[in-house]
Amino acid sequence: MRITAALTETRGAPFALTPLELDDPRPGEVVVRMVSSGVCHTDLIMRDQWYPVPLPVVLGHEGAGVVEAVGDGVGHVVPGDHVVLTFNSCGDCGMCDHGRPAYCDGFFGCNFSGARPDGSSPLRRVGGGSVHGVFFGQSSFATHALATERNVVKVDRDAPLELLGPLGCGVQTGAGAVLNSLDPPAGSSLAIFGTGSVGISAIMAAVIAGCSPIVAIDLNERRLETALELGATHAIDAATDDPVERLRDLTGGADYTLETTGVASVLRQAVDALGNGGTCGLIGAAALGTEVSLDMSALLFGRSVRGIVEGDSVPRRFIPRLIDFHRQGRFPFDRLIRTYAFEDINQAVEDSEKGTTLKPVLTFAG
């Protein structure tokens, strides 16, 4: 079928709306008409080739929409179902078997190779010419996306599809890091380094978990204000204050910290701010090969650093749970979102990079 996609032709290039052809679904595949797609930091670092995603490619991995067609053997969804698209996994390795799909042995191939497992792409230029697709099992910067049965999550018809895209990556990453990965007992202290959409999702989840204090750290005053509005009990402006010292004053050494920025020196601070026995969750993605130095004696006293992908989410369980929290008014992730028409994708990206929009969401005309 003919679709319109925002194509990334070369490293760092602006997104270019382009007509493309999309394959019909093969067995196990699902075609989704997009209603919304979040723009995630990971799309931008892929555009900039921090990871070697092959070009030209259609990026986008926070899609939500309506199932348009399904391939043979698909039983989880039927045409007309409302779905959130999420990361893909092989379903066949030890980590997938143990219910940890975010650490799938095939994660890179399933999400970043730009192709199906057999090497084919479901996308091509009108008149021929290959284009890489199935980014994060979806390539959602397009009017239609081809996913697999494994990475679509059916949601209730009355849930607001135009807002749900970010649940498939950024929001579940932040919220899951707290509720699934760290799972802090009520009353634990938690400090979140970086208050972008992932960090603020973590803050909202920390309120649900009953953490106290919940300390937000950033360089951006406006973001810190938003963090305070959405549940942080304290804010530290790292431009003017030493976060490690302030956190020691506030918590006596934090029980938990979360690093969401991907900056090595910030990870160091997030570890140095821990009390004995504390855990630092690392969410921020750095360029491949980035190294950090840590104080070995500090680590020895029961501290740990734990890498976290996609908030340890098992999406079919966790995404409906987040929608329930939202419905109950306990998880107002819509406060992070600003919507843009799909055609305005480059404006959405610019506003995200400037920090004036926490979570841009593209919307697609009916």
- What is the closest distance, in whole angstroms, from the C-beta atom of residue 212 to Zn ion in the complex? 29
Residues 235-264 that bind Zn ion (CB under 5 A): none
- What is the closest distance, in whole angstroms, from the C-beta atom of residue 172 to Zn ion in the complex? 9
Contact 12, 47 (CB under 8 A): yes
DSSP state of 196: S
The answer to whether 93 contacts Zn ion (rule: CB under 5 A) is yes
Euclidean distance between CA atoms 269 and 203, whole angstroms: 18
**HSE (CB half, 13 Å, CA atoms) of 16?**
12
Which of 172, 233 has the CB closer to Zn ion? 172
Per-residue contact string for residues 125-164; x = within reach of Zn ion by CB under 5 A:
----------------------------------------
Radius of gyration of the chain (CA): 20
Residues 60-89 that bind Zn ion (CB under 5 A): 89
Binder among 5, 70, 96, 308 for Zn ion (CB under 5 A)? 96
The answer to whether 40 contacts Zn ion (rule: CB under 5 A) is yes
Q: CA torsion angle for 284, 286, 292, 297 (degrees, to 10)?
A: 20
Euclidean distance between CA atoms 341 and 44, whole angstroms: 18
Stretch in the footprint of Zn ion (CB under 5 A) among 18-26, 32-40, 72-80, 188-196: 32-40
CB atoms within 10 A of CB 128: 7
Stretch in the footprint of Zn ion (CB under 5 A) among 80-88, 168-176, 276-284, 324-332: 168-176
The answer to whether 169 contacts Zn ion (rule: CB under 5 A) is yes
Contacts of 287 (CB under 8 A, 6+ apart): 45, 50
- What is the closest distance, in whole angstroms, from the C-beta atom of residue 360 to Zn ion in the complex? 12
Which of 96, 215 has the CB closer to Zn ion? 96
The angle that helices 197-209 and 221-229 make with each other, rounded to 10 degrees, is 30
Binder among 39, 104, 235, 247 for Zn ion (CB under 5 A)? 104
Q: Tokens in use for 298?
A: 């500090």
Residues 303-322 that bind Zn ion (CB under 5 A): none
Binder among 45, 66, 69, 90 for Zn ion (CB under 5 A)? 90
Euclidean distance between CA atoms 276 and 56, whole angstroms: 48
Which residues sit at the interface with Zn ion, rule CB under 5 A?
A: 40, 42, 89-90, 93, 96, 104, 106, 169
